[in-house]
């Protein structure tokens, strides 16, 4: 049985005081939730204050990105060890915004996943097709390539996959529950080829305009194990409603 995983990706939003205010209220509201893994990925500059507020709670700290070198002359970058030092348990890798705006290739993503795992971080590895890919029926080809190249030489330990169709991210257009389930089932089959029966233990979460209104139907898919939430994670109320999804409705 896979434990649901719901993570907030705040992207480049909030101030320090907004971060403190959010987390203070949020941790109290979710403190009794024991059957869902919850993570918040604030911007790098708020990781310290978020770590303090999340200490001894049931909410894990995550980062939105990481660099693959351990240390050295890489101006502006953050290493996996630095994230571990500050208390991060997970890191998002390969988000489509990183691929699109910062030219991250599958090879870079693969190096980042390897480095993060080596340091002991769980990874939220993002994959997903563009609208053009979907319309030209290349969704599965894209997913296959991103999985094979991103996970080349990587075991399944600590990997959470986020299926995030690019056309659904921040657009208000969510994949239907059927589209999400179809992609997740495909991804699990690819994992079966790579990892055998371990494929059944890997969590595959959905991302792309998840809201309190659509989470229940998305989570009804048998291979949908949680959500990576952008816009709707910026308010305590909507993020808590998402975490309190009802499975099977
Ligand atoms: C994301 O940032 O990964 C995301 C899915 O964003 P949104 O929920 O805003 O579409």
Q: Answer whether 212's CB lies under 8 Å from 244's CB.
A: no
- The per-residue pLDDT for 1 is 83
pLDDT digits (tens, 9 = 90+) for 125-184: 999 999 999 999 999 999 999 999 999 999 999 999 999 999 999 898 899 999 999 999
Find the catalytic residue in 104, 129, 164, 184: 164
- Sign of the torsion angle spanned by Cα atoms 192, 168, 224, 249: negative
Measured by CA distance, the residue closest to atom 2 of ligand 1 is: 230
Residue 135 appears among annotated catalytic residues: no
Mean pLDDT of 108-117: 98
> How far apart, in whole angstroms, are the C-alpha atoms of residue 195 and residue 184?
16
Band (249; pLDDT cuts 50, 70, 90): very low
Residue 8's DSSP bridge partners are: 40, 229
- The per-residue pLDDT for 248 is 60
Mean pLDDT of 23-40: 97
Tell me, in angstroms, the distance from the centre of ligand 1 to residue 85's CA. Answer: 27
How crowded is the C-beta side of 240, counted as CA atoms within 13 Å? 14
Ligand 1 is surrounded, with C-beta below 6 A, by 9, 11, 164, 169-170, 207-210, 228-232
Tell me, in angstroms, the distance from the centre of ligand 1 to residue 9's CA. Answer: 7
**CATH T-level fold of 5-243:** TIM Barrel (3.20.20)
Mutate to test the pocket of ligand 1, among 42, 94, 162, 231 (most ligand atoms within 8 A of CB): 231
Residue 97 appears among annotated catalytic residues: no
pLDDT digits (tens, 9 = 90+) for 48-73: 999 999 999 999 999 999 999 999 99
| Nearest residue to 166 (alpha-carbon basis) of 157, 175, 158 | 175
Give the distance, in angstroms, between the CA of residue 112 and the centroid of all CA atoms in the same chain: 14
Which atom of ligand 1 is nearest to 168's Cα? 10
* pTM to 2 decimal places: 0.97
pLDDT digits (tens, 9 = 90+) for 182-231: 999 999 999 999 999 999 999 999 999 999 999 999 999 999 999 999 99
């Amino acid at each position: 049985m896979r434990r649901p995983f719901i993570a907030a990706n705040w992207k480049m939003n909030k101030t320090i005081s907004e971060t403190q205010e959010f987390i203070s209220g949020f941790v109290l509201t979710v403190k009794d939730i024991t059957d869902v893994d919850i993570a918040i990925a604030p911007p790098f500059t708020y990781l310290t204050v978020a770590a303090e507020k999340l200490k001894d709670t049931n909410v894990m700290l995550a980062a939105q990105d990481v660099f693959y070198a351990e240390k050295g002359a890489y101006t502006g970058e953050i290493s996996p060890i630095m994230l571990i030092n500050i208390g991060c348990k997970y890191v998002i890798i390969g988000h489509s915004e990183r691929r699109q705006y910062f030219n991250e290739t599958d090879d870079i993503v693969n190096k980042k996943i390897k480095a993060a795992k080596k340091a002991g971080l769980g990874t939220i590895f993002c994959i997903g097709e563009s609208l053009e890919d979907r319309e030209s029926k290349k969704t599965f080809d894209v997913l296959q390539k991103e999985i094979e190249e991103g996970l080349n030489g990587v075991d399944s330990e600590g990997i959470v996959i986020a299926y995030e169709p690019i056309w659904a991210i921040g657009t208000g257009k969510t994949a239907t529950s059927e589209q999400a389930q179809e992609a997740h089932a495909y991804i699990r089959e690819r994992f079966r080829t790579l990892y055998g029966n371990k494929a059944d233990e890997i969590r595959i979460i959905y991302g792309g305009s998840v809201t309190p209104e659509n989470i229940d139907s998305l989570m009804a898919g048998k291979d949908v194990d949680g959500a990576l939430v952008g816009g709707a994670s910026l308010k305590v109320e909507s993020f808590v409603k998402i975490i309190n999804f009802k499975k099977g409705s």
